[in-house]
Amino acid sequence: MKDMKFNRLKKSFQILTAMFLLGTLMGGCNKKLDIDATHLVNEGNNWKSITDTRSALLGTYGLLRAALADNNGHWLYGELRNGDFQATSRLDLKAIINSNLNAPYPVVQSLSSWRRFYAVINSANLFISRAHEVLALDRQYTEKNYQVDMAQMHALRAFAYFYMTRIWGDVPLIKSVNDGSFEKVKRSPKAEVLGYAESELLKAVTDLPYKYGDVNDPIFPGLYYGQPIAEWNGVLITKISAYAILAHVCAWNERYIDASGYAKFVLDNAGKAGVSYSVTPLLTRVDGLFYDKNSNQLFGLPFAWSNMEASLDGHIEDLTLAAPLVVKPVPQIYIPDPVILSVFDEAKDQRFSINPANGRAVTDYFTGFGSSNTIFSKIKCIRNASTDGSLGLFSSAIVFTRLEEIALLYAESMAVLGNTQPAIDVLDQLRINRGLPLYTGGTNGLIDAIFKERRRELMGEGWRWYDQVRYKRIMKNDADFNKLISSNGIFWPIAEDVLRNNSLLVQNEYWR
């Protein structure tokens, strides 16, 4: 028993050490905009062999994961503002919920800085500018491998710009690496940035495989960097995940014809990438959809326990879980019982419903409903899919999108375009999968029904705020919110240290 405890502590220490090193790397990679150039390794020693490209490729993914995980940003950006969650005691979380984004709390100030996203972009720029050197020097690095790697870097750079545009609106557009110098760049209009992101993704999709490491893949058959499918499922951006991001770029830009086309490609070709719909228990199991890495994470950034990547934070569990699941008296954020009842208001919903026979909650999404401490436990990946919460290391992936989410985006696009039957067909498929009857609300209520289904299905996955923005743009039935949109109040302010370091930048007008 003592040996087991020692090994567990040793493993935890190794994980924390890896996290520290990644954080150090992230802090030193951005060579532009608002931080000085920092060289952890002399670039002259890199770009010689296939091991250098592999390290640089996976390092860029690591930087993107760190950017989304930092301060649990993916959920603080996407779930808190005007959302369903409430904070128990943390004033910084309450400030975000109440849209007080100028509040002088370190977490709020940190989330106002885009430097970690430009670390991702700079890493991708560096790869794009240097990988050809390896192609010339190392015969193991084939032309096809090079093309696939380059496609991923273009796609990751595009995703980073799309993600930033949702947060800050206009952002500086950097297309090339500048080694060792500080450059002041003004912001580009958000429409231009989204257009660039779309063009980058379209450039990438031709060369992206459906599956990495699959001998039958039509784009890149055979092992990828010497590893089979199991190593890469849910880890790298695929042709399907790139089309999913394209759909969101266009929907955010209110181009629903294009969004519907890209989303339809995903739905029609998901099987080629091993992607399928998830039954309700799979969403909530400790070893389910969000655990480790798997192909149903249409685009995700895993924290694989098998690779010693579990961490204390950077997971929604850090915010939502508490006793009896982990050793914490109360969660940091929770959804009040009346909100749960208003959102899940249909009988026999597998995610949450009330049994009329005994009045008890039937739910895979919540623990302890009706008590003084209802816990959002839809996602609860503790260590190696354990149910023992005595050591709060989490191994859930940051899942940007999955097939159900893209199906609902397709339904949204079809409904906006007036193609109601395809929208209803997709909505009904998801409703049936969750134990609900067919939709009978008619054409006028269809968009409301689609967004309500997104609210239920995607709860806790970082979509609530962005869905509200798209819904209000479509419906134009909320004068205050639409004024917020027109005045750019939906975006975050730019951090003061970013503004100080670049005189060409100006604060978002709403926050001046």
Q: How confident is the model at residue 7 (pLDDT cuts 50, 70, 90)?
A: very low
Same domain, 186 and 48: yes
Q: Does a structural domain hold residue 69?
A: yes
Same domain, 475 and 344: no
Q: Is 0.75 surpassed by the pTM of this model?
A: yes
What is d(CA 458, CA 455) in angstroms, rounded to the nearest whole number?
6
Task: Give the range of the structural domain holding residue 55, as residue numbers without chain letter.
Answer: 25-207+482-507
Structure tokens at 426: 């997709």
What is d(CA 371, CA 361) in angstroms, rounded to the nearest whole number?
11
Average pLDDT over residues 241-246: 98
Structure tokens at 335: 């959804």
Check if the beta carbon of residue 99 is closer than 8 Å to that of residue 82.
yes
Please tell me the predicted confidence (pLDDT) of residue 52.
97
Confidence check: pLDDT of 3 > 70: no
> At 53, which CATH number?
1.25.40.390
User: Picking from 43-47, 288-292, 474-478, 501-505, which range would have the lowest pLDDT averaged per residue?
Assistant: 43-47
Q: Does a structural domain hold residue 281?
A: no
Same domain, 419 and 328: no
Residues 6+ apart with CB under 8 A from 441: 448, 449
How do residues 55-86 score in pLDDT, each as one tens digit?
999 999 999 999 999 999 999 999 999 999 99
Same domain, 419 and 445: yes
Same domain, 321 and 378: yes
Q: Tell me the DSSP string of 381-427.
A: -BTTTBS-TTS--B-B-EEEE-HHHHHHHHHHHHHHTT-HHHHHHHH
Same domain, 469 and 501: no
Q: Does a structural domain hold residue 416?
A: yes
Last residue of a domain, one of 374, 396, 418: 396
Check if the beta carbon of residue 384 is closer than 8 Å to that of residue 396.
no
Instruction: Please calculate the CA angle 294-295-300 and round it to the nearest 5 degrees.
Output: 75
Residues 6+ apart with CB under 8 A from 20: none
Q: Does a structural domain hold residue 10?
A: no
How do residues 162-207 score in pLDDT, each as one tens digit?
999 999 999 999 988 765 444 689 999 999 999 999 999 999 999 9
* Total H helices, total E strands in the chain: 20, 8
Please tell me the predicted confidence (pLDDT) of residue 512.
87
Same domain, 46 and 181: yes
Please tell me the predicted confidence (pLDDT) of residue 44.
59
Check if the beta carbon of residue 349 is closer than 8 Å to that of residue 456.
yes
User: Picking from 26-30, 100-104, 252-256, 417-421, which range would have the lowest pLDDT averaged per residue?
Assistant: 26-30
Q: How confident is the model at residue 28 (pLDDT cuts 50, 70, 90)?
A: very low
Q: Does a structural domain hold residue 110?
A: yes
Average pLDDT over residues 268-284: 96
Q: Does a structural domain hold residue 233?
A: no
Same domain, 413 and 430: yes
Q: Does a structural domain hold residue 352?
A: yes
Residue found under tokens 């005045």? 487
Helix segments in 98-215, DSSP class H: 106-111, 115-137, 143-168, 190-205
What is d(CA 76, CA 492) in angstroms, rounded to the nearest whole number?
12
Task: Find which of 12-21, 42-51, 212-221 is predicted with most confidence, using mean pLDDT.
Answer: 212-221
Residue 104: asked if its preceding bond is cis (omega within 30°), the reply is no
Backbone angles phi, psi at 399, to 5 degrees: -100, 110
How do residues 353-367 score in pLDDT, each as one tens digit?
999 999 999 998 999
Indicate the pairing of strand 352-354 with strand 361-363.
antiparallel
Same domain, 194 and 312: no
Q: Does a structural domain hold residue 34?
A: yes
What is d(CA 487, CA 499) in angstroms, rounded to the nearest whole number?
20
Last residue of a domain, one of 396, 424, 453: 396
Last residue of a domain, one of 369, 396, 423: 396
**Number of domains making up the chain:** 3
User: Picking from 21-30, 41-50, 252-261, 452-461, which range would have the lowest pLDDT averaged per residue?
Assistant: 21-30
Please give the DSSP secondary-structure letter assigned to residue 493: P
Burial class (CB in 10 A: 0-12, 13-18, 19+), 474: middle
Average pLDDT over residues 448-457: 98
Same domain, 334 and 422: no
Q: Which of 298, 277, 252, 242 is nearest to 412 (CA)?
A: 252
Same domain, 51 and 191: yes
Same domain, 364 and 456: no
